[in-house]
């Protein structure tokens, strides 16, 4: 047993279980998978090598592995209503890398995606990412209301003529109009990639429109609102195959051997289990509740005087701009963690702060909803968040890195002893006992 063989790691696992049990999990990109998903993830498929694709492997002994991968592919095709799926990407970033390698020419082709500073993802063309280093990039931003400005995006696309347009975000709380993005991409002859990593589960549940009719390619992680293991899918739509009949083959070759070696078949098995769970009626109800919870939480936060990017939310995610509270996002996130509320600091539109000390917070309701929380609980959680922020010192962080570190280190020591926050942490712990993890 792990307890006797490696007590250090065993104890750390138990500590993590306790942390999850006693705190509110509100990071928008996290969720709690079922026991069945974790059972598949920890199965004997952990140690099976299976380079290649079903029935065309470079290793023997893959008869059962092939069936697992075929089942995952079939379930994904049915769930997202697409003709082709690759289930092998290790995670979301490799999935986006594979698509770009399949479609684009390094140092020549151009990507157009949402700016990282406005809620886009690193792999959508950020200069510090492979996407920004290997390809020419151009970004679009949100308007003053924190919304996608499709007219302006169209003008940029016509001027820049990108080869690939990416729609999707890591911190955008509103519905994405895939049809408008498709019209823009079609006008300039670009491929349209819809990265639905954050909203895949909401799409399956029918509470967010699907890009299947409009995009050429869809990528998604499987561990956020889809509630599976860490992993990813690349899907090619009928529109994509019509644009390029060889697109599916190009994607397969970009994943293997272009980018990856042997797939993680335990991950594939767990993805298959999660996809089956997502096809049931209870998952639709889950997705609906996620959005209801998010809307109520947003409304309650506004009552407490919080400014929300775009004014609210249509999905599982809320982005708070703390500048009117005169509290830095990094300080707020650490204070909230002390109080048992786990979320993350995040940049907001027109944020002038350095990335490690941004002006905002990002939070979500997917994991809370998995634990059975509903609208009434969101009211309580908003009240706690407000109480914590009111306890945060209005620290003006210096511009120089060295001076910031001195103030930051002192704050970390002081906040860990804050009586009001520790009192809230006890209340949160008692509250969480009513909503056990799956």
Report, as an integer, the average pLDDT of 105-130. 95
CATH code for 39-278?
3.40.640.10
CA 432, CA 377: separation in Å to the nearest integer?
10
Report, as an integer, the average pLDDT of 340-357. 93
What share of the chain has pLDDT > 90, as a percent?
Answer: 92
Residue 410 has pLDDT above 90, yes or no: no
Angle (CA) 391 393 398, round 5°: 155
16 is annotated as an active-site residue: no
338 is annotated as an active-site residue: no
Q: What is the pLDDT of residues 47-102, one digit of tens each?
A: 999 999 999 999 999 999 999 999 999 999 999 999 999 999 999 999 999 999 99
Least confident of 140-154, 300-314, 395-409: 395-409
58 is annotated as an active-site residue: no
Residue 395 has pLDDT above 80, yes or no: no
387 is annotated as an active-site residue: no
pLDDT at 66: 97
pLDDT band at residue 229 under the 50/70/90 scheme: very high
Q: What is the pLDDT of residues 257-297, one digit of tens each?
A: 999 999 999 999 999 999 999 999 999 999 999 999 999 99
The mean pLDDT value of the chain amounts to 96
Catalytic residue among 48, 136, 224, 227: 224
195 is annotated as an active-site residue: yes
- What distance, in Å, lies between the first and last C-alpha atoms of the chain? 23
Q: What is the pLDDT of residues 24-42, one digit of tens each?
A: 999 999 999 999 999 999 9
Report, as an integer, the average pLDDT of 91-114. 97
323 is annotated as an active-site residue: no
Report, as an integer, the average pLDDT of 201-212. 98
Cα-based distances in Å from 325 to 26, 69, 116, 304, 320? 21, 50, 24, 11, 10
Catalytic residue among 69, 73, 163, 195: 195
What are the residue ranges spanned by the domains of the chain? Answer: 39-278, 288-432
Q: What does the block give as tokens for 38?
A: 């974790």
Residue 414 has pLDDT above 90, yes or no: no
CA 425, CA 429: separation in Å to the nearest integer?
6
Q: Which CATH architecture has domain 288-432?
A: Alpha-Beta Complex (3.90)
The closest alpha carbon to 432, from 308, 339, 312, 329, belongs to 339
Same CATH fold assignment for domains 39-278 and 288-432: no
The Cβ-side half-sphere exposure at 322, using a 13 Å CA radius, reads 28
pLDDT at 396: 67
Catalytic residue among 30, 36, 51, 183: 51
Cβ burial of 164 (10 Å; 0-12, 13-18, 19+) is buried
Q: What is the pLDDT of residues 303-329, one digit of tens each?
A: 999 999 999 999 999 999 999 999 999
Catalytic residue among 21, 77, 180, 230: 230
């Amino acid at each position: 047993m792990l307890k006797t063989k490696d007590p250090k790691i065993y104890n750390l696992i138990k500590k993590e279980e306790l942390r999850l049990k006693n705190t509110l999990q509100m990071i928008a990109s996290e969720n709690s998978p079922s026991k069945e998903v974790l059972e598949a993830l920890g199965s004997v498929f952990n140690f099976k090598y299976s380079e290649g694709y079903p029935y065309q492997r470079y290793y023997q002994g893959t008869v059962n592995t092939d069936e697992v991968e075929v089942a995952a592919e079939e379930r994904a095709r049915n769930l997202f209503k697409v003709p082709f799926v690759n289930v092998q990407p290790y995670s979301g970033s490799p999935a986006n890398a594979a698509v770009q390698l399949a479609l684009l020419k390094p140092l020549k082709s151009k990507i157009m995606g949402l700016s990282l500073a406005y809620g886009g993802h690193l792999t959508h063309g950020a200069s510090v990412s492979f996407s920004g280093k290997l390809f020419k990039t151009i970004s679009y931003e949100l308007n003053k209301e924190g919304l996608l400005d499709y007219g302006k995006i169209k003008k940029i696309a016509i001027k820049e003529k990108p080869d690939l347009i990416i729609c999707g975000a890591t911190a955008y709380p509103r519905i994405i109009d895939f049809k408008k993005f498709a019209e823009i991409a079609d006008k300039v002859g670009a491929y349209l990639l819809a990265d639905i990593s954050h909203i895949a589960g909401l799409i399956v549940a029918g509470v967010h429109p699907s890009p299947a009719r409009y995009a050429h390619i869809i990528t998604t992680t499987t561990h956020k609102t889809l509630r599976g293991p860490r992993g990813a899918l690349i899907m090619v739509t009928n529109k994509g195959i019509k644009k390029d009949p060889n697109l599916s083959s190009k994607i397969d070759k970009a994943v293997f051997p272009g980018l990856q070696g042997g797939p993680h078949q335990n991950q594939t098995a767990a993805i298959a289990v999660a996809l089956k769970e997502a096809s049931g009626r209870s998952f639709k109800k889950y997705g609906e509740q996620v959005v209801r919870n998010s809307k109520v939480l947003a409304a309650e936060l506004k009552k407490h005087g919080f400014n929300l990017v775009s004014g609210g939310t249509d999905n599982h995610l809320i982005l708070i701009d703390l500048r009117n509270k005169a509290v830095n996002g990094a300080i707020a996130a650490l204070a909230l963690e002390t109080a048992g509320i786990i979320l993350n600091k995040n940049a907001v539109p027109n944020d002038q702060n350095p990335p490690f000390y941004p002006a905002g917070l990002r939070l979500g309701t997917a994991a809370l909803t998995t634990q059975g929380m509903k609208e009434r609980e969101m009211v309580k959680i908003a009240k706690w968040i407000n109480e914590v922020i009111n306890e945060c010192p209005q620290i003006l962080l210096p511009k120089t890195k060295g001076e910031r570190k001195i103030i930051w280190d002192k704050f970390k020591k002081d906040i860990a002893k804050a009586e009001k926050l520790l009192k809230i942490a006890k209340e949160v712990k008692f509250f969480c006992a009513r909503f056990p993890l799956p």
